[in-house]
Amino acid sequence: MTSPARVAALRALLAIEAGRQDLPAALEQARASLGDDRDRSLAAAIVHGTLRWQRTCDHLIAHFARRPPDTLDADVRLILRLALFQLLRLDRVPASAVVDDAVELTRTIRKRSAAALVNAVLRAVVRRRHALPLPARPPGPVSRAEALHYLGVCGSHPDWLVARWLDRMGFDQTERWLHFNNQPAPMMLAVNAIRAVPEAARAALAADGIETAPGRFSPVGLQVLTGNPLHRSDDGSVLVQDEASQMIPLVVDAAPGERVLDLCAAPGNKTVAMAGAIGQTGLVVACDVRPRRLALLRTTLTRAGARRGRVVQVPTEAALPFASTFDRVLVDAPCSGLGTLRRDPDLRWRRRESELPALARRQAALLARAAEVVRPGGRLVYATCSSEPEENDEIVDAFLAARSDFTQLDLRAGGRAELAPLLDDRGRLRTCPPAHGLEAFFAAALTRLR
């Protein structure tokens, strides 16, 4: 009988490949079909891992099938990728079980004619698994073409993205970044200051059999070491949130009694952090444009106990329905997400370099709209989870060049101490996977002149 986890993983990958669902939705549906925690964990590992190592798997498929992967039936190609990932990266899974299940999956989806090909390719990989035909790491100085080929295939990223990082950071740093993106991401929690302090939250989690360790940089971050906090009763004391994301509210640095606007707020984790900072006399207004995201915002704020939070729907393009009264405004701009490829491995194959200019235009327009509701002397924070300069520095620099009523705040002199290790030489937040072990986030703080 074929493993239920592999069947569920294949269904999720088919939905993602066809564009019917994104990764979170496909995984949620796959997990719902499984009754055992071990199967749910295995299915998630297979889906994430297959997406991470897709290009490496396709290189091996091309070699052993003796034909380009894109000439194969799409479903058969996915079965081969899924099985190859397990053979190469899940050493606790018996190779015979992986091969047998892959052949059976091929028959299950009514591609019996491809069963012999799947069996032959996978058995050839098993025989040569300790001497696979992958590019060797180039010794010493290498040409750009050699570096791109090695890094792209063995690091399993698209050439256009590897080329960008290679040109900016060089070979070694790029290799480290690719390695970071191909590792499973730990579960990170953020302690909700409205409900608890970190020490009390850790103790409560420990009482439920969940061991945690403090985050490397975030004062409210907890890394889950053992146990699953999603299985405990949700009292709103902690939220699942990446550690780099937890640093953005520190750039906003809201104070008790202040009025704060979170412009692109869903799902609301940053809103909760800022609501904890303003106390009982301030106000946080959380905005989004789509009804589903607004409903998610309301749920998050209610569970977190953010009584000083309000949810407002805003238009996609028109002026914001507020006066220039906010002390702090956060523009956590919709972006390419290229800084989160460790957690969202499907993005590396879905994003195109040609999309960046259009994203940048929307981000610049959003920042300009947000600037109008900042009071004189107030702070405007622009943030993304992108690694690319078109979405980060270039947006901020162009805004400052066009707006003489705003200036940049150098966070090295006017920011929270916890941010210091993550600031660049311009006083902007820039988390870097090779340097910090965090996803690539960016934030700049601007002040409206009085």
Q: Per-residue pLDDT tens for 54-72?
A: 999 999 999 999 999 999 9
Structure tokens at 176: 């480290």
Residue 269 reports pLDDT greater than 90:
yes
Cα–Cα distance measured from residue 256 to residue 278, given in angstroms and rounded to the nearest whole number = 4
- Per-residue model confidence (pLDDT) at position 141: 82
Query: From CA 87, how far away is CA 93, in angstroms rounded?
Result: 8
Per residue, the 3-state secondary structure of 34-95, as one string, reads: CCCHHHHHHHHHHHHHHHHCHHHHHHHHHHHHCCCHHHCCHHHHHHHHHHHHHHHHCCCCCH
pLDDT band at 288 (very low <50, low <70, confident <90, very high): very high
Mean pLDDT, the chain, rounded, equals 96
Question: In this predicted structure, what is the pLDDT of residue 37?
Answer: 87
Q: Is the pLDDT of residue 198 over 80?
A: yes
What is the rounded distance in angstroms from the CA atom of residue 442 to the CA atom of residue 429?
A: 5
Mean pLDDT, rounded, for 315-338: 96
pLDDT at 36: 87
pLDDT for 250 equals: 98
Answer for the pair 271, 262: CB distance below 8 angstroms, yes or no: yes
Give residue-wise pLDDT tens across range 297-308: 999 999 999 999
pLDDT of 255 > 90? The answer is yes
Determine contact, residues 378/329, Cβ cutoff 8 Å. Answer: yes
pLDDT at 140: 79
What's the pLDDT at 415? Answer: 84
Q: CA 103 from chain center: how many Å?
A: 33
User: Where residue 91 falls among pLDDT bands split at 50, 70, 90?
Assistant: confident
Query: Please, which residues bridge with residue 312 across strands?
Result: 287
CA dihedral 134, 140, 143, 148 (to 10 degrees): 40
Cα(19)–Cα(392) distance, integer angstroms: 28
Q: Is the pLDDT of residue 387 over 90?
A: yes
**What is the percentage of the chain residues whose pLDDT exceeds 70?**
100
pLDDT of residue 136: 93
pLDDT over 80 at 97, yes or no: yes
Confidence of residue 390 (pLDDT cuts 50, 70, 90): very high
Say if residue 441's pLDDT is above 90.
Answer: yes
- Band of pLDDT at residue 392, cut at 50, 70 and 90: very high
Task: Give the pLDDT confidence score for residue 93 in this predicted structure.
Answer: 82
Average pLDDT on 176-193 reads: 97
Look at residues 292, 293, 308 and name the one whose alpha carbon lies nearest to residue 193: 308
pLDDT band at 128 (very low <50, low <70, confident <90, very high): very high
Question: What does the pLDDT average to over 259-283?
Answer: 97
Which pLDDT band holds residue 325 (cuts at 50, 70, 90)? very high
